[in-house]
Structure formats: structure tokens, C-alpha cells
Amino acid sequence: MEDKSTNKSEAEQEEVQQTTDETCRCQGGNDMKTIQRLCHQIATEKGFWKKGKDRNNGELIALMHSELSEALEELRKEKPDWKHVAEEMADTVIRICDFCEARDLDLNEAIWDKLDKNKKRPHMHGKSF
């Protein structure tokens, strides 16, 4: 259905969206904060977040687990489709980014802080595996 408010056909609107997405990917749109914001924006636009209605933290974390389980199920196949595994890994990161943006957590900073912390830990963090 054509959007009368912009006088653009669906194909034209799709092209604009695709250009926007490509621009976002190519012009510095790959930094973690941008990705985090975009994940939450898309989840909100798709109705997963409703104004005035919060979501349960436990449920959101369970949904992160579910994406890893989907990756595991693919890997259990005799000939796993690695592209599908990557997609499920992306789903996991997208859900984590969405959660962090919704809870005002800076995932980028948390990752850099944790990497600094890990660099200072002993070999294999003092564990056997």
C-alpha cells in the first residue's frame, strides 16, 4: 500500500530505507552505541516495546538464551549451515543491545572495561578449561 503522506511508492520508500541502512553501515554506523540504539529502535518500531509498559528482565534474558539455543540446534545437525549459526549469533547480540539500550546501559564501555580487566587476569583466568 502506498504511503500518501510522502507521495512515494512502496518501491521508492524501500529504496530510501535501503539507502539509509547502507549509509548507516558505511558511514560510522557500525560503532556499538549506534548499533545498540538501532536495535532498540527497530524492536520498538516492531512493537516489542510499548509506551508505558515495561518488560520483564528475566524474560528478556531468556530470549537472549533462546537465540543461542537456536545456534546450538543448527550445530547439532550433521551438516550445519554456518550462515544460519552466524545469524543466530547476530540475533543474540541484537537482543543484548536492545536490552542495554532499554536499560540505559553502555555496552560499548562495559565491553572495553571488561577487556581491560580480562587482560590483567592470569592465564586462562586461573581455571582449567
Q: Rule CB under 5 A: which residues touch Mg ion?
A: 67, 70, 88, 91
32 Cβ neighbours under 8 A, 6+ residues apart: 97, 107, 108, 111
Q: How far is the CB of 124 from Mg ion (least distance, A)?
A: 31
The CA distances from residue 107 to 35, 71, 94, 95, 117, in Å, are 10, 22, 12, 12, 15
> Which one, 25 or 65, has the nearer CB to Mg ion?
65
Q: CA 15, 41, 89 angle in degrees (round to 5)? A: 90
Residue written as cell 539509509? 20
Q: How far is the CB of 67 from Mg ion (least distance, A)?
A: 5
Q: How far is the CB of 71 from Mg ion (least distance, A)?
A: 8
> Which one, 23 or 66, has the nearer CB to Mg ion?
66
> Which one, 16 or 90, has the nearer CB to Mg ion?
90
Q: How far is the CB of 58 from Mg ion (least distance, A)?
A: 19
Q: In this structure, are residues 84 and 73 in contact, taking their beta carbons and an 8 Å threshold?
A: no
> Which one, 19 or 69, has the nearer CB to Mg ion?
69
